[in-house]
Structure 1
Amino acid sequence: MLASRIRATCIQLILAGQSCAAAQAPLKPAADFPDFAFSEDWKVLGPFQIGTREAVWGADPLELHGGFRALEYDAKATFKSSLALNGEVSWSNFTAQLSDPQKRYASAVLTVAFPSIDWPFLQDVYGWAAQQWQGWARGEIYVQSASVKTLTLNIEQILEFWIDDQHHFGGDFYSYGRAAVTLHLEPGVHRVDVRLVRDVRAMGGVGEPDINIKFKLEGSSGLHVPGSPDIISDIVGDENGPLASPYVSVAIRNGALTDAHIYNVEATRECFAELVGQTPVKLVPGQTRPIAYKLSCVSPALKPGPMRILIKYRMEGDETDRQAYVDAIPHIRGIYEPQKITYMHPGGMVSYAILRPPSPKAHCHDLSPDASLPVLLALHGAGLEADSNTVRHALDPVPDLCAWVLFPTGVTPWSGDDWHNWGFADVEAAIAAIPNWIEQVDWKGPGVDIDRWLVSGHSNGGQGVWYALTHRPDKVIAAAPMSGYSSIQNYVPYTFWRTADPGRSAVVQSSLNSYRHELLLENAKGIPIMQQHGSADDNVPAYHSRLLSQLLEQAGVETTYVEMQDKPHWWDGVMTTQPLKDFYQRHLNAGLQPKIPLNLRDFTVVSAGQGDMGAKNGVEILHLETSAQLGKVYVTFDPLTLGCVLHTSNVRVFRLLPLFRDCSFVAVDGKNMTACSFSEAEVTLQSVDGQWQHSTDWPALPKRRGKQQGAMDAILRTNGAFHIVHHSAAAKGLALQVSRNLCQYFAADTGITDDYEEARISNGSVISIAIGSDLPKTSYGYHPIRLFSDRIEIVDNHVAARPALRGYGSADGLAAIFLRALPGERLELVVWGVDEESLDIAARLVPLMTGTGQPDFVVADRSMLWKGLEGTLALGWFDGEWDVSRNSYFS
């Protein structure tokens, strides 16, 4: 009731031309009255249809009416909806649960459900896709102060919202709470419009399909530094032991109105700290960055108290030296216990994993003093931290395995992007950090073989096992996926997406080929696999494992499938059942044996051509003839001649490793490659006019190479922090939004600048935010997309004998997002609009969540906001020469 009184008094004073601050006196003494609060009453409009991960494409039917923000509450108004009785929905009233009045913060919880919708019937027909819906909710923020109030806003489980006339996209869909939005609110009443998007993968598919939104407002000023580091390693042994790893991270937010520059860190006690990377570290107003530094201490580090780290900084325009501090109190772990290690993620920030060294009680066959044991990877499920007891102790019942047990975090509880580009880079960085741990703690036990993995995982981690198995087959000695889904598209089908031209839909679906494990299972041939699933699993139905077991058999892959009767999705001991214990022991011991140089049996290598595939039996596909279609190399061994015969499909360039020196000859598509020396470290073969040649001239190979390949989420394969360049003052707000989203969803580090040249020549990927003709032309080779102040042109070399120009201009706004090349296999993601409003459309498509399916380029106008994918004007792929691929789509 207090919030209602605030609103009534505020409105009266505002109409009288007075400040809301004057409302304090008649309600409560000023000292006790909250400066800001949420409304209790919320107006909701919905539900409307939405498809799995479709919201980034717009697909909001209310945009046809100018958007929810253009609508005023009308109890009698109706809107068409495919989900509701009679095909119509109207406004509803909901009440939020507010926190007790506080000076420091205000919070509210809003639960939205639509019991009048026949959800069970829809689910019976369409499955989980029918439990997803969208709508909008409207409430208010009341600010009672004498001047502008600087606040930070967190809204959990929300992707998109408006505060008054300011649009915010990205939000906090997974409830990470990592990067709040900074608001500067005048005294008075402020409207809050929140888009509700229910997603089964994030919110569950059992029970009523409701949404619980949590709002939190906090006062903010100056530099916000948490009291303790976000990431710090454990101390090994006892209080006299060393830190397991030197890397530490603390997330700092700039709540001031000017830039902050962190120029140094210092440590108290017998410790030394130094910033990692370039200094000073700049934070623009409203920006959150994970600050990485190295910490080394003279033992004992914990006596007589915590290590205090001083953060030294200056504010723009003020040479005054300032400082804040964090107190680091690491946990102490025995050397054989699961312990936290830290390392640098390729994205330029600190990450961590839980490492359990080999037990001295492990009974490993033929273990010599200098033996190197394989790595047992255990990938966690969605929403779990690797440092939680659930994950850390999941393999305690098997304490004496002949392996280094590693629980990667994947950077975030959702592993960044479901253990794909960003999350899997974290896995490989964690593995590479084990030798550093060995040196750091002066380990005397067995070594580690970082190229031999037994990969296990549960739920989303089980899906991650399929990714590792199909994308790094030459490193996987065995695999144990538990209760994992088969692919993103198969988990919650895309049935309810707005209808679009099949040409457009095909582009989106093909951008997900690298994660469609059902298409890549031939890469698993020759690798032992044990699948486990509970028959009563209502989170990831056992259908997924049953299907993959069937498809593996059809691909010639031997697999064991164990279905645990009446077991749910998770139960105590799910990762250490007796069949799994036997599997671990058998294949970890087998992993000590030398690997056969060449598996002289027929096999096939499959690649989606997206720059993330490793070798299979020494064959690595580097480039495809046609982008976004599968490429294959079929390898046959002739037992009579001892020759290796290869046939290719949609492959332009591939590499053979020295394993093929065991062949008496190598033939590719009928041509004997006698001129190649297969004793070399590697041999690269390229198809030129249909003829295979030994390529020794790397510059002659395709210009788009390595990490530049793939769909738009290839931008996540960065080496170094992101550089976000705003090419005009009008684009600066969007640059901050992109920075916040990358920090929120990937814990990524980003620098925001207006210096394009500095960003272009540095390391890391570049994201250019540009309006009209602001964007500089690429200085690194040819690019087919040309931007003008009011239109966009695309050079299409596949239309006729001579290149054709496809031009787009639109009275309804025009936006584009696309990749460009930078030196060193780096990428630039261009986010462009003819004006600020159009720029907002393009910014929606910067990769945030897996499964949204952005290809290499998209051109759209405002109609995308309500038509969704059908509102795009052009979308598709660039080939190896950065030309538009022939399987792109143009309206």
Structure 2
Amino acid sequence: MILPLFLLAYAGLAFASDQRTLLEQPPDITFSREWQILGPFEIGTREVTWGADPLEFYGGFRNLEYNLKTTFRSPLVFNGTTSWSTREALLSYESDEVSSAELDVTFPDVDWQWLRDTYGWAALQWQAWARGEIYIQHENVDVLILNTGGVLEYWIDDQHYFGGDFYGFRKVPVTLRLSQGVHRFDVKLVREIRSMGGVGDPDVKVNLELRRSRRGLVRTNPEFDEGVLISDLIGGDYGPLASGYASVMVRNDAGHDIYVTGIYGMRNECVLDLLSTSPLKLVPGQTRPIAFGVGCVKTYDRRLDAELVYRFEGTTVEHTLHLGVWPDAYESMHEPHKVTYIGPGGTVSYAILKPPSPSAQCENDARNQSLPILIALHGAGVETDSEVIRSTLDDLPDLCAWALFPSGGTSWSGDDWHVWGLADVEAAVGMIPKWIEHVEWSGSGVDVDRWLVTGHSNGGQGTWYILTHRPDKVIAAAAVSGYSSIQNYVPYVSWHTSDPGREAVIQAALLNYRHELLLENAQDIPVLQQHGSKDDNVPVYNSRLLAQRIQQAGADSTFFEVPGQGHYWDGVMTTEPLSNFFSKHLTAHNLTDARTPLNLREFTMVAASTGDMGTKNGAEIIALAAPGKLAKLHFLLDPLTLTCIWNAVNVRSFRFGPNIYDDCQYILVNGQTMSHPTASQVDAVYERTTSGWQLVESLQDEQHEKYGHQLGGMNAILRSIGPFSIVQHSANTQQVALQISRNLCQYYAADTDITSDYSEALNSTGNVISIAIGQDLPQSRDEYPIFVHGRSVINGGSVILHADGLDHGWFDQDYPGLAAAYLRPLQGKRLELVVWGIDADALKTAARLVPMLTGSGQPDFIIMDRTMLWKGLEGTLALGFFDSNWEVSKNSYLAV
């Protein structure tokens, strides 16, 4: 057999596999062993979303050729210049079906210690590029799937991929069709403290895997897991499932659309039904979680066998995909077990539930009382369905509470327990009453409105988030080894230099996560903090800082710094201080006290985004006067005159419940005497108008008013009631649509429907993401401040922004690669995220900003040009917020 020259050269290379043998013949698919490296360059925390790649100034790494004599400027290295180098990858293969490469890149010549001493551990973050090759030996290699653990961005030949698999989930690989020969593979390397840690050498390890697949519908990575999410069995091997919801991740590896039309059990004792009433479409390369209901009389052999029914586009012939899963079985329903439920975006999620123990004192005292929920949030990268989580509270078996361990959708809790993660927590809480009915539970009931929240690491941060955003739900909170806020954990000091006006908008977009500024909401709520003094993952400074700031905010906490302990140790969640804290605040007599209204003589409520904010002592800030700024609502009761005095700062509208106004003879709002709501005015709010404060029976016109689920920056799009609809308004945009779909599925376990039918999307239940080039974007209502002007597009492209009565226009000839990403309102308080570019390349620039990694700081709208790819934030032309009337707020940034 005569091999091509590139394969003859490759055949003699030794594989560093377990066998460590020389290949007599190269495998059908493999990677090159030598990789060309260019870097390092600076990058800030979560800045990569904005581009900020200095090589884009030269047309991008893909347009550069390896040359040891060529140098590039970089502030991280000696003499301010860096050049090309090479590294060897560790290659392995299982057979002709699977080939892997592990690439470990570090830059030992950089004085990292000096950078860290000077600028902090955020200076250990860097970016670089690596170039290797993919070898396809035979022409019969048809469909490949590519897993890219630790990689966010890459190019294969001339095709760009953004999103990748930064956390190594291995859930949503990319489907490839590569011809026989050599294919260039350019991989962006991003070193980030937030996900990779700040201890040791700041290296980057990426794991690449190519695996042959087949045409048709396949489970995602069946060699990694079965891909089926299903509840555990309770009552032994033949016991019922703890819940009737299940789902399976499947991918379309065919060249045509596939429609999933049904599912059926292969045994008579189980009935299965798709939760969707219409066929579920998967475009080529798309991964979707298929949700279905499971109703079983009983099970045999603990195994559930099913066939997923599908057909190819244009045919009526039915095909089947076999699903087989073995649910875990538990003899007692008192043991921690997995329960599924409908979570954010209409997908099936799960939590671990531990009902109250029959030996708990509260169970013996009062069988019919309603007990609170102990919500325990896991840390980043921790799978809830693991023995570590299930056994977390084993040392405290008799707590008077329902112990709940939510998953947050993924092992990274979607978005650090914020918009998507908090919605999953609330869905998990709502699951418990349904579980009680499903399994015919006869023990204590559950009080879904009383939570003791705790969590470790990222879960500790999530504890602060829930404490400050759901204060009326939280009876006590215990944050363990948690960080104080996104910005404090790994500072954003290394972002590319930008206009302070632009930076202010980004900081404002992240304001909702600055727990240090929201601690007044924790007044009168018991808080315990615990942190190891030697924590090298989340520095103990975070807890020390919050211990000080919570006191300054008029609240308080008990702080235990454990000498000599690091980030995690056995028993970290059941130490003596934590055990005593849990016991104290979960006992029945303390629950009675907790239900009594706290001292309502005076309190303060603070909000950064009302879209995520609950109530405080029955008071609720509904809308802000100016988004991107803190709003405060201070209450004081004058006991002599029984006057309720409200002082509102940056508040447009608010309401309060009967536990407050029943004791009010008079009401003052910012010094203005107000009328008292009547019993029939259940939706009445106090609203700031041009003529002062008014009591109105309801909020303004629904179509033109922005509030509720629509508030909170671009990540408000994540508050979708059903699957996202990704609408292609232009031809040749399917790769961008597929990229957005993959990223939402990878990082949030979200479901998406890719379509070109805009009317169908508008009539769906979920939020919409519209993708358009040039003048193809349908217009929103006439007075909407941002729109693509059709005639100007024909003349070169223009986006017009209306603000303060002025028209500001940017034209393609002055700003090459003009693009935009912005929110628009839809009926029923839904949202549409517009992703627009003047051409196909510009569209890809805008698509980077679709919410993916938490902490990137996208506001309501962003207009940019191609320079954003190397300037980062400085390459934006306008960005900011919409106020309650969907007008551009005055604190937005316009480059005019």
| TM-score interval, normalised by the smaller of the two chains | over 0.9
Tell me the secondary structure at the aligned position of residue 698 of structure 1. Answer: coil
Question: How far, CA to CA, are the matches of 1:236 and 1:329 in structure 2?
Answer: 13
Q: Secondary structure at the match of 1:122?
A: helix
Alignment check: 8 A CA contact 2:683 2:697 kept: no
Query: Map of 1:427-826 to 2, 5 A cutoff?
Result: 427-589=425-587, 590-593=590-593, 595-597=595-597, 599-660=599-660, 661-677=662-678, 681-700=682-701, 703-778=705-780, 782-788=784-790, 789=793, 790-798=796-804, 802-809=805-812, 810-826=814-830
- After the TM superposition, which residues 340-355 of structure 1 pair with which residues of structure 2 at under 5 Å, given as runs? 340-355=338-353
Please, which runs of 5 or more residues in structure 2 have no aligned partner?
12-21
Match of 1:295? 294
- Is 1:229–1:327's contact at 8 Å kept on the other side of the alignment? no
**Distance (Å, rounded) in 1 between the aligned partners of 2:58 and 2:522:** 51
Amino acid at match of 2:42: Q
Matches within 5 A, 1:42-441: 42-100=35-93, 102-147=95-140, 149-221=142-214, 222-225=216-219, 228-269=226-267, 270-299=269-298, 301=299, 303-304=300-301, 306-333=303-330, 334-364=332-362, 367-441=365-439
Q: In 1, Cα distance between the equivalents of 2:643 and 2:179?
A: 78
- Secondary structure at the aligned position of 2:228 is classed as coil
Which SS does the other structure have where 1:662 is aligned? coil
Output one character per residue of 1:622-679: Cα deviation in whole Å (capped at 9) or x when no partner: 1111111111111112122232210010110111112121223221111222342268
Q: Given residue 250 of structure 1, which amino acid in structure 2 is its aligned partner?
A: V
Query: d(CA) in 2 for partners of 1:10 and 1:722?
Result: 45
Q: Any idea what the Cα deviations from partners look like across 1:79-107, whole Å, max 9, x if unmatched?
A: 11100011111111100011136211110
- Is this contact kept in 2: 1:161–1:194, CA < 8 A? yes
Find the aligned partners of 2:142 and 2:890 in 1 and give their Cα distance: 54
CA drift at 1:779: 5.2
CA distance, structure 1, for counterparts of residue 868 and residue 162 of structure 2: 15
C-alpha distance in structure 2 between counterparts of 1:511 and 1:175, whole Å: 27
Match of 2:850 in 1: 846
Shift of 1:5: 7.4
C-alpha change, 1:678 and 1:505, in structure 2 (3 Å) is: farther
CA contact (8 A) 1:401 1:588 kept: yes
C-alpha displacement at 1:246, in angstroms?
Answer: 0.7
Please list the CA deviations of residues 244-275 of structure 1 after superposition, one character each: whole Å capped at 9, or x if unmatched. 00111110000000011110000122100000
Partner of 1:21: none
> What is the deviation of 1:609?
2.6
Equivalent residues of 1:4, 1:40 under 8 A apart: no
Q: Is the 8 A contact 2:36 2:87 kept in 1?
A: yes
Contact persistence 1:258–1:316 (CA under 8 A)? yes
Given that 1:33 and 1:101 are in contact with CA atoms closer than 8 Å, whether structure 2 keeps it comes out as no
- SS of structure 2 residue aligned to 1:473: coil
Q: Distance in 2 between matches of 1:841 and 1:350?
A: 32
**Structure 1 residues 880 and 367: CA distance shift in structure 2, 3 A:** farther
- Deviation of the 1:811 alpha carbon: 4.8
Q: 1: distance between equivalents of 2:592 and 2:318?
A: 56
- Per-residue Cα deviation, 1:162-197 (whole angstroms, up to 9, x for no partner): 000111000111111111111111111000001111
- Compared CA separation, residues 564 and 93, structure 1 to 2 (3 A): same
- Report the equivalent of 1:24: none
Secondary structure of the corresponding residue to residue 364 of structure 1: helix
Q: 2:837 aligns to what? A: 833
Amino acid in the other structure paired with 1:684 = V
Matched residue type, 1:393: S
Contact kept, 8 Å, 2:238 with 2:302, in 1: the verdict is: no
Matched-pair contact (CA < 8 Å) for 2:125–2:190: yes
Q: Which amino acid in the other structure matches residue 80 of structure 2?
A: G
Deviations 1:718-737 (A, max 9, x none): 11100000112211110011
Shift, 1:872, TM fit: 0.7
Following superposition, the deviation at residue 699 of structure 1 comes to 3.3
Is 1:859 the counterpart of 2:863? The answer is yes
Give the CA deviation at 1:794.
3.2
Contact 2:39 2:82 (C-alpha < 8 Å) held by counterparts: yes
| Alpha-carbon distance, 1:740 to partner | 0.6
Query: Which whole-Å CA distance do the structure 1 matches of 2:63 and 2:610 have between them?
Result: 42
1:317 positional shift: 2.1
CA distance in 1, matches of 2:554, 2:787: 44
1:17 maps to none
Shift of 1:594: 5.8
Question: TM-score scaled to structure 1, two decimals?
Answer: 0.95
Q: Secondary structure at the match of 2:75?
A: coil
- How far, CA to CA, are the matches of 1:766 and 1:625 in structure 2? 27
Secondary structure of 2:529 counterpart:
strand
Calculate percent identity across the aligned residue pairs.
Answer: 53
Q: Give the C-alpha shift of residue 855 in structure 1.
A: 0.6
2:828 aligns to what SS in structure 1?
A: coil
Match of 2:16 in 1: none
Between the aligned partners of 1:683 and 1:416, the Cα distance in structure 2 is 35
Q: Which amino acid aligns with 2:668?
A: A
Q: Greater CA deviation, 686-695 or 848-857?
A: 686-695
Q: TM-score, normalised by structure 2?
A: 0.94
Residues 156 and 414 from structure 1, CA distance in 2 versus in 1: closer, same or farther, beyond 3 angstroms?
A: same
Cα displacement (A) at 1:437 = 0.6
Question: Aligned AA for 1:875?
Answer: L
SS at match of 2:316: strand
Deviation of the 1:385 alpha carbon: 0.7
CA spacing shift, 1:246–1:781, aligned 2, 3 Å: farther
Partner SS, residue 167 of structure 1: strand
Name the amino acid aligned to 2:777. Answer: L
1:591 shift after superposition: 2.3
Alignment-mate amino acid for residue 190 of structure 1: H
Moved more, 51-60 or 312-321: 312-321
CA distance in 2 between counterparts of 1:383 and 1:232 reads 21
Taking structure 1 as reference, are residues 781 and 425 closer, same or farther at Cα in structure 2, changes over 3 Å only?
farther
With over 3 angstroms needed to count, the CA separation of the structure-2 counterparts of 1:467 and 1:28, relative to structure 1, is closer
Q: Report if aligned partners of 1:876, 1:889 keep a CA contact under 8 Å in 2.
A: yes
Q: Distance in 2 between matches of 1:700 and 1:107?
A: 57
- Checking the alignment, whether the CA contact within 8 Å between 2:358 and 2:364 is kept in structure 1 is no
Deviation at 1:781, TM superposition (A): 7.0
Aligned to 1:51, the other structure's residue is in SS state coil
CA distance in structure 2 between the partners assigned to 1:161 and 1:619 by the alignment: 49
C-alpha root-mean-square deviation of aligned residues, in Å?
Answer: 2.0
Find the aligned partners of 2:659 and 2:238 in 1 and give their Cα distance. 48
Q: Which segment drifts farther, 147-156 or 684-693? A: 147-156
Classify the secondary structure of the residue corresponding to 1:433.
helix
Q: Is the 8 A contact 1:618 1:656 kept in 2?
A: yes
Separation in 1, partners of 2:130, 2:314:
41
DSSP 3-state at the match of 1:412 = coil
Task: Give the partner amino acid of 2:427.
Answer: A
* Aligned partner of residue 743 in structure 2, secondary structure: helix
| Partner AA of 2:319 in structure 1 | R
For the 8 Å contact 2:528–2:559, the answer to whether it is kept is yes
Q: Tell me, what secondary structure is at the counterpart of 1:652?
A: strand
